Amino acid sequence: MSSRIAILGGTFTPLHNGHRALLHSAFQTASHDGPGDGHVVVGLTSEALATETRSDPSHADMLGSFAERRAALAATLDRIGAAYPAGHEVVKITDTFGPAATRADADALVVAPEGKAQQRAQELNDERIDRGYQPLEIHTSPFVVAEDGLRISSTRIRNGEIDAQGRLLDD
């Protein structure tokens, strides 16, 4: 048996405390007791996929380039990852399943608690089974709430409601 591999994916812009919680969950999952130090694979959406998957199409122009998002994510991964034995890498994804559907050596998928993410995780495991792979363990990171008790999200940040730490912004 080799190191545990935890996979997650997203657009990660702007990076916020909810994303950081998700990344911590991935490192904790990969660093779980067992042989090896573990490894976290973060799928970062291509510009085309990031635009395609927006719940609010008007936000597509606010996403930033892949290179900008990758640099910000890599810096955050380096900071968070320093507390864990697991290594990490960022890979570009061009479809909603990314490497989680195609890496036979993956062990776990780390997802947000939203219903859509949970449904996609189940669909991903169905795809893995169709490919002859074992289904992934699904680890759900908790919601992180803002000062107003509502969850932190990139959409709320882009709408000017809160900042990346969940502080309410003045109107």
Would you state the pLDDT for residue 3?
87
**pLDDT tens, 90-124?**
999 999 999 999 999 999 999 999 999 999 999 99
pLDDT at residue 2, as a whole number: 63
- pLDDT for position 90: 98
5-143 CATH fold = Rossmann fold (3.40.50)
Structure confidence at residue 98 (pLDDT): 94
The helix/strand/coil state of 16 is coil
Return the pLDDT at 63.
Answer: 87
Q: What is the pLDDT of residue 1?
A: 45
- Residues linked to residue 168 through DSSP beta bridges, in sequence order: 162
- SS3 of 15-48: the string is CCHHHHHHHHHHHHHHCCCCCCCCEEEEEEECHH
Q: Whole-model pTM above 0.75?
A: yes
Intervals of the chain under pLDDT 50: 1
